[in-house]
Amino acid sequence: MAGNDSSDEDSEFSESELDDYADKAYLGFKDGNHRILNPDGTLRCPFCSGKKKQDYQFKDLLQHAIGRGSSTSRKAKEKANHLGFARFLQNDLALAAGLVVTPPPPPTAETPSSNSSSSTDELFVWPWVGMLVNLPMEDEGVLIKEQFSEFNPVNVISSHERDLESGKFEAVIWFNKDWKGFKDAMAFENHFKGKRLGKKDWNEKKGVNLTGIHGWIARDDDYYSDRLVAKILRKHGELKTVADVTEEQARENGMVVAALAKKMEVRNKYLQELECRYNETSISLKNMMDAKAKILQEYNEEMHNVQRKARENARRILMENDKLKLELESKKKEIEQRCKELNKYDAKNDGEKRNIDIEKEKTALENTNLELATIEKERADEEVKNLMEEQKREKEVAFARILQLENELNQKQKLELEIAQLKGKLKVMAHLQGEEDIDTKIKEIHNRLEEDKEGLEELHNTLLTKEREANQELNEARAELIGGLSKLLKGPTLIGIKRMGDLDIKPFEIACKKKFSAEDADIKASELCSSWDEEIRNPSWHPFKIIEHNGVNEEVIDENDPKLKSLWIDFGDDVYNAVKKALLEINEYNPSGRYPVAELWNCKEDRKATMREVIHYIVKQFKARKARR
């Protein structure tokens, strides 16, 4: 049973899926899901938590991850985790610090390890330095540096006195402190060995008449010798083995990596805090939008109720006005009747006459009040009537516009039908012979056709003029929007400004990275993109041809153009398609000037934006800013 369990664990995924799971482990480290930094600054492996040793230096931890990931006896999951861990150490921690995570260069014919098995214990003067003896004259350091420039020297110091034995001058030549400098120093020594002018040759020929400059790497015997330059070696250098230099660099690299790991942990915490704040802000914004929608709905309902109540009040006022009018008419008739009756009894007596006069005055006062009330009522009726007439006029104008458009359409169709009928009559009359007035009728029909034609041409010219004016106003509005939005739009937005005819540099960068070294790729991509941008703007180059498609002539890219064909062969489809796209855009938007022009662009759907979309976007942004204020 134990064997079966082990085989099940090993078959979690196949070897072919190893890279995919290693990528997942690598992304887990980039997202900060694993902790690798100990409190004392050392590093740990998160996949070997049960092991005793969890205080690695950076170099040891990298070797541990690479060894576990390349082992054939480990389970696939453990190998994938350690491969992802090794990639994280090399690509993210080490490269971020500018460290060289690969071990020192393997032993070659140029390194001291090929001379003896104990070369790592051999003491060299560090920083790496070379000895030059038997110099014929006191050369300037600059001349010596130029003479041995192939070994990349950093500095040269000459002795100002002659050697007592040889009577010649000596000098020391300094190299870089890194492994490249060590390689240059070994090449320097091998250069003299190949000419039999090395240290061994110098010691064997000592005391004999020597010729030629001798050179070698300074070691411990040169450091403690009584040569003229030994003081310079002891003043500016110290003795170290290759192993000492390697260990010191590994220790420095481990400290830098630990500091970087700690900084990454702090940044991950900061990112988590930012994410929490972002979530809180999103929830708050969603609540505000919901509240805004609710308020808008309540406002719409309230406006609907207000309009309904206004209509009911207007209807009630009209009914009350009609009722008051009837009452006023009845009272007016009653008063007139009373006036007639009073006039009949006008001659009875003075007392009755005075009473009648008083009654008349009261009646006149009542009539005046009734007239004022009637005037106020008529004024209110007039206002209500004007309001209703205005609404009626607006409806009639809209309806009249619809009828006018329908009439114009019917008239156009009728006119076309009449033209077709008249053409048919002309054909019929052409076959009729012997009628007396055939010429007259043909002339009349011809005149009518000419009049209709002139009317249609005039209508066509009017429509063209209006269309040209509308297009001009639309273009001016688009130009104003482009000028205004180019200053306001920042970052990714739904509506943006795109320069039609500009080359996209990304395909050039990808193609150059495949074809050139990483150091030269960016420069080559910029140069290539600039040269093709000049070609596109060159008016003498027109790589287009005319083809007929569905009965219509179209202008398309000439794929047999020598320049485009050469570009496709050298750099592939992506670069070719980028140049082709820029050519089509410049030919569509500015074929005469051949320079890029700005255009309103729908970034979401990757197409030209309509004026309606742009205005809708601006209004939406304005409302959003107003709501935030």
HEC profile for 70-120? Answer: HCCCCCHHHHHHHHHHHHHHHHHHHHHHCCCCCCCCCCCCCCHHHCCCCHH
Question: Which residues contact residue 456 at a Cβ distance below 8 angstroms, ignoring those fewer than 6 apart?
Answer: 415
Is 282 contained in some domain? no
453 in a domain, yes or no? no
In this prediction, residues 68-72 reach a mean pLDDT of 76
- Judgement on whether residues 617 and 490 belong to the same structural domain of the protein: yes
Whether pLDDT at 607 is above 70: yes
Average confidence (pLDDT) over 451-471: 76
Is 570 inside a domain boundary?
yes
Q: Can you give the pLDDT at residue 427?
A: 65
Could you tell me how many helices (H) and strands (E) the chain has, helices first?
18, 11
Average pLDDT over residues 349-369: 72
More confident call, 176 vs 360: 176
Furthest-apart CA atoms within the chain: distance in Å: 180
Band of pLDDT at residue 392, cut at 50, 70 and 90: low
Domain boundary among 189, 206, 240: 240
Please compute the mean of the pLDDT values over residues 300-306 and round it to a whole number: 88
pTM assigned to the model: 0.30
Does residue 138 sit in the same domain as residue 83? no
| Structural domain range at position 92 | 2-97
User: Does residue 144 sit in the same domain as residue 230?
Assistant: yes
Read off the pLDDT of each residue in 146-169 and give the average, rounded to a whole number: 76
Cα–Cα distance, 216 to 235 (Å, whole number): 19
- pLDDT at res. 1: 40
pLDDT at position 5 is 42
Side chain identity, residue 484: G
Q: Which of 215, 240, 265 is the last residue of a domain?
A: 240
Query: What is the arithmetic mean of pLDDT over 508-521?
Result: 88
Residue 58 sits in the same domain as residue 175 = no
DSSP codes of every residue in 382-438:
HHHHHHHHHHHHHHHHHHHHHHHHHHHHHHHHHHHHHHHHHHHHHHHHHH--S-TTH
Average pLDDT, the chain: 76
Write the CATH number for 220.
3.30.70.2890
Q: Residue 306 domain-assigned?
A: no
In the chain, the number of structural domains is 3
The pLDDT, as a whole number, for residue 13 is 59
pLDDT at 458 over 70: yes
Domain end call among 97, 132, 159:
97
536-569: pLDDT as tens digits:
888 888 888 888 878 788 888 888 889 888 888 8
Tokens 């209006």, residue located: 466
Q: What Å distances lie between residue 192 and 108, 132, 265, 270, 485, CA to CA?
A: 17, 10, 52, 58, 70
Residue 399 pLDDT: 57
* Mean pLDDT, rounded, for 609-621: 80
Same structural domain for residues 148 and 38? no
User: Is 315 among the domain residues?
Assistant: no
pLDDT at 453: 72
Pair (70, 161) in one structural domain? no
Q: Tell me the sheet residues that pair with 155.
A: 174
Q: Is 322 part of any domain?
A: no
pLDDT of residue 105: 41
Q: Say whether pLDDT at 522 is over 60.
A: yes
202 and 87 in a common domain: no
Mean pLDDT of 61-83: 81
Residues 79 and 184 in one domain: no
538, 616: one domain = yes
Report, as an integer, the average pLDDT of 134-144.
68
The tokens describing 192, both together, are 């003299």
DSSP state letter for 151? G
Q: Which residues contact 627 (CB under 8 A, 6 or more apart)?
A: 288, 292
Residue pair 374/328 in contact (Cβ under 8 Å)? The answer is yes
**pLDDT score, position 220:** 84
164 & 31 share domain: no
Q: Which of 261, 56, 262, 1 is nearest to 68 (CA)?
A: 56
> Are 159 and 35 found together in one domain?
no
Cβ atoms of 222 and 233 within 8 Å: the answer is yes
Does residue 217 fall inside a structural domain?
A: yes
Higher pLDDT, 385 or 570: 570
Q: What pLDDT digit, counting tens, does each position of 263-292 carry?
A: 887 888 888 888 888 988 989 888 999 888
Other CB atoms within 10 A of residue 132 CB: 24
- Answer yes or no: is 331 within a domain: no
Residues 488 and 618 in one domain: yes
Q: Is the pLDDT of residue 101 over 60?
A: no
Q: What is the pLDDT of residues 7-64, one digit of tens each?
A: 444 445 565 677 788 888 888 887 777 778 777 767 888 888 666 567 788 778 888 8
